[in-house]
Structure 1
Amino acid sequence: MKIEELTETVTTIRRELHQIPEIGFDLPKTSAYVKKKLLEYGYEPCSVAQTGWIAVLEGKTTEAIAFRSDMDALEVVEETGMSFASQHAGRMHACGHDGHMALLLGFAKYLKSLPELKKTVVLIFQPAEEGPGGAKVIMESGILQKLNVNKIYGYHVYPDLPEGKIGLAAGPLMARNGEFNITLEGKSAHAGQPHLGNDAIVAAAHVVLAVQNILSRNLDPLEPAVVNIGTLQAGEVRNIVAGKAKLSGTIRSYDTATYLKIKERLAAICDGIKNITAVNCVLDITDFYPAVINDEKMIQLIMDSLDKETFQVIKPVMLAEDFSFYQEDMRGVFMFLGTGRSDKGWTYPLHSGRFNFDEKVLLKGIELYAHILKLENIL
């Protein structure tokens, strides 16, 4: 089978999946659609992570290499105006996971047209990438270990790259991330009698300023990191000393030691706020995904084998991806597939209600996967 013959297949799949976006692990329609296609192509999919699927194409040996797609959508209102727009109000495939599934299903169909493979290929359709992390659930199930998977590949469509361009990075590509909440509990009082209260807003202001010092004074300036406070809620009326305040933010870094240092400094700030303001400060931190660290030898093999015009070496980004859970246990490569096209207005960022792309770009992804089959001595 020629890969260009899959144009109609991937276009139809992407548009049909785009109309039924679902959230997290709760993917009944999406899961049923993917299973139906895998059965149609001659696979016997195995259920994993509640609504995910594992499809296996056995080769001459049990050594296996995996290719992964995520499946879930976002709680975003679609604004594309396309004829195949979301039919689920307030939900949209605004991160391109519909394209990822179409790409991997197209690759699944292509694989069935090949002669017997030298190694086994495992296809992973994974729920809950946007949270709370379906990759971790799959890894903890042990199914990939039982299948002898020792390498894994994955894509993310990416509007910051020109359409069809492959984005590659050796080593760090995406950040480790976590979220934090800081709750400040003071004492209300009339503004005319401030000495009778403990002002949570003043304490919150101290927190905001102190957090800025983490990056500028507590961390190695050569180690990239983000500490961002995104919300601050406090106070009830203008003439009352606020008794409560709440801040929320995010932490991101490629380096584990740096990430842990940020957590340590946040805890120290909260302890200090209690002492200087008499306002109780409660810190709650939730760790999410590890950093995406690409195997340097695997990346170099790809770079050395491709025409330089087809790919771009990219800088790491402070976005996060649960593909990293696979990479904790096996060698892996995560790549960006460029979808940016200014003449069509397809430059809106991921998670935007206007994010869109041309399905033909998915064929570029399948072409590279087919090329990787040769690099990995699977054909």
Structure 2
Amino acid sequence: MTTASPADELALLTRLRRDLHRIPELDFDLPETLRYVCGELEALCDDVTARYGKDACTVFSPCKSSLCMFFDRKSEHATAVRSDMDALPVTEKSGAEYASCHQGHMHACGHDGHMAMVLGLAHHLAESFDELPRSVLLVFQPAEETTGGARFICESGVFERYGVDRIFGFHLWPDLAMGEVASRPGPLLAATSESTFDFHGKATHIAKAADGADSLEAGMRFVLDAYGYMAEQAKAEPCLLKFGLLQSGQARNVISSHTHIEGSLRTYSDTMTVTAKQHLAELAESRAAEAGCTCTVHFSEGYPPVVNDEALFDLARAALPDLHELPEPLLIGEDFAFYQRHLPGVFLLLGTGTGIPLHADTFDFDERILAAGLETYKKLVRIP
């Protein structure tokens, strides 16, 4: 079969991305998205099986709201490539002619682009099936933005059944130049843990403050001390704790009996995660006791850190001479981390060059960047 020209590939990527951008859906509730992706994959699979036999290609769902396509080259091991499919509960204000048709939902994090690249790769693999050095598994997962759909893919056993020994994935990244591909060995993205602290005191008029227990003072002292503690920890290993919400009290002249504080902890290793949570809880309890208060502390499980396998990264770097290596890890989280807990994986970033932040209601990008992502995938699946 004739290989598609760059112009044809860009037209394909643009069509796929814009079609998918119009139908954003959330979490595991992805009926239109799944129908669209499945339709594309099954048409390609029919073509491959017509040329190479019924076992050459299969399309299936390993778990809820997911799709996989397997190109079977009868190799001992296979390479996996992942795309997320879910969108965000954001009302789009981009003004694009291909804007969301679903009120209150938007592909504001680039998952439409992620799907377009992997679907574009599926087209390429169908065209060049007999040139592949190993089998390839394409994975389309739900719920990256919410509960971590990657975890359910791993638990399905699909990687073991198909002999997958490595996985690659992309995320669009506004802070990189248009079309630039970047990553780094080792830690790339942070573990995330939503952190909640409640200080319980005793209300009284401020004129009789000694009779009360000031939860607001305890909470404020804790915030400042927590920031100081994390700043010291960051000297040894990158980490961050920031609070974005503090609610306390009922009136200006009444000692507050309850202070509620919410923030997010970001770390890059299990050791730092465990250590920071332990010490922050101890610090909260200490500041509460000093003020005659009690406290409750909750840390969400969150996503693990995205840590690129160094041996696989070396293979990727050799295949990608233009790969830009980032000097420091970044502070966002991504559920690709669950795959890397299961098998060696490398996650990459693809620059949009726009500077419009992820999750913004005006997020958009030039589809020409997707061609750079597709070319990267073509090289990665050809690593023996």
TM-score by length of 1: 0.93
- Shift, 1:220, TM fit: 5.8
Which one of the candidate residues 39, 43, 49 is aligned to 1:40? 43
C-alpha distance in 1 between matches for 2:85 and 2:377:
19
Structure 1 letter corresponding to 2:295: C
Secondary structure of the residue that 2:219 maps to in structure 1? helix
Matched-pair contact (CA < 8 Å) for 1:163–1:338: yes
Secondary structure of the residue that 1:77 maps to in structure 2? coil
Mean Cα deviation higher: 106-115 or 83-92:
83-92
C-alpha distance in 1 between matches for 2:209 and 2:129:
80
Match of 1:321 in 2: 334
Secondary structure of the residue that 1:160 maps to in structure 2? coil
CA distances 1:45-79 after superposition (whole Å, capped 9, x unpaired): 22234111111111122421100001111122322
- Shift, 1:305, TM fit: 3.7
Match of 1:13 in 2: 16
Secondary structure of the residue that 2:342 maps to in structure 1? coil
1:182 aligns with 2:194: no
Matched-pair contact (CA < 8 Å) for 1:3–1:363: no
Secondary structure of the residue that 1:240 maps to in structure 2? coil
- Shift, 1:178, TM fit: 0.9
C-alpha distance in 2 between matches for 1:79 and 1:207:
39
1:356 aligns with 2:364: yes
Match of 2:186 in 1: 171
Match of 1:365 in 2: 373
1:248 aligns with 2:250: no
Which one of the candidate residues 250, 254, 276 is aligned to 2:290? 276
C-alpha distance in 1 between matches for 2:248 and 2:208:
19
- Shift, 1:338, TM fit: 1.2
Match of 2:316 in 1: 302
C-alpha distance in 2 between matches for 1:303 and 1:139:
26
1:201 aligns with 2:203: no
The alignment of Structure 1 onto Structure 2 pairs a total of residues equal to 368
Distance 1:270 1:22, change over 3 A: same
CA distances 1:131-150 after superposition (whole Å, capped 9, x unpaired): 21011111112121111110
Which one of the candidate residues 292, 312, 315 is aligned to 2:324? 312
1:162 aligns with 2:177: yes
- Equivalent positions of 1:1-379 (< 5 A) are 1-2=3-4, 4=6, 5-42=8-45, 44-116=58-130, 117-217=132-232, 219=233, 221-307=235-321, 310-314=322-326, 315-340=328-353, 346-374=354-382, 376-377=383-384
TM-score by length of 2: 0.91
C-alpha distance in 2 between matches for 1:222 and 1:193:
45
C-alpha distance in 2 between matches for 1:3 and 1:96:
25
Secondary structure of the residue that 1:161 maps to in structure 2? coil
C-alpha distance in 2 between matches for 1:171 and 1:295:
6
Match of 1:343 in 2: none
CA distances 1:206-230 after superposition (whole Å, capped 9, x unpaired): 211121122234x261311001111
C-alpha distance in 2 between matches for 1:214 and 1:282:
19
Runs of 4+ in structure 1 deviating by more than 4 angstroms, as ranges, are none
Secondary structure of the residue that 1:22 maps to in structure 2? coil
Secondary structure of the residue that 2:176 maps to in structure 1? strand
Higher strand share: 1
Percent identity for Structure 1 against Structure 2: 36
- Shift, 1:196, TM fit: 3.0
C-alpha distance in 2 between matches for 1:115 and 1:33:
23
Matched-pair contact (CA < 8 Å) for 2:216–2:259: yes
Matched-pair contact (CA < 8 Å) for 1:49–1:134: no
CA distances 1:179-238 after superposition (whole Å, capped 9, x unpaired): 111112212222333233222211211211121122234x26131100111110111222
Mean Cα deviation higher: 111-120 or 164-173:
111-120
* Structure 2 gap segments, 5+ residues each: 46-56
Aligned CA-pair RMSD: 1.6
Matched-pair contact (CA < 8 Å) for 1:203–1:277: yes
Structure 2 letter corresponding to 1:190: H
Matched-pair contact (CA < 8 Å) for 1:22–1:30: yes
Secondary structure of the residue that 1:167 maps to in structure 2? strand
Structure 1 letter corresponding to 2:175: D
Secondary structure of the residue that 1:129 maps to in structure 2? coil
Matched-pair contact (CA < 8 Å) for 2:136–2:381: no
Structure 2 letter corresponding to 1:69: S
Secondary structure of the residue that 1:192 maps to in structure 2? helix
Match of 2:52 in 1: none
CA distances 1:273-321 after superposition (whole Å, capped 9, x unpaired): 23211212000111211111112232223333444xx331113111111
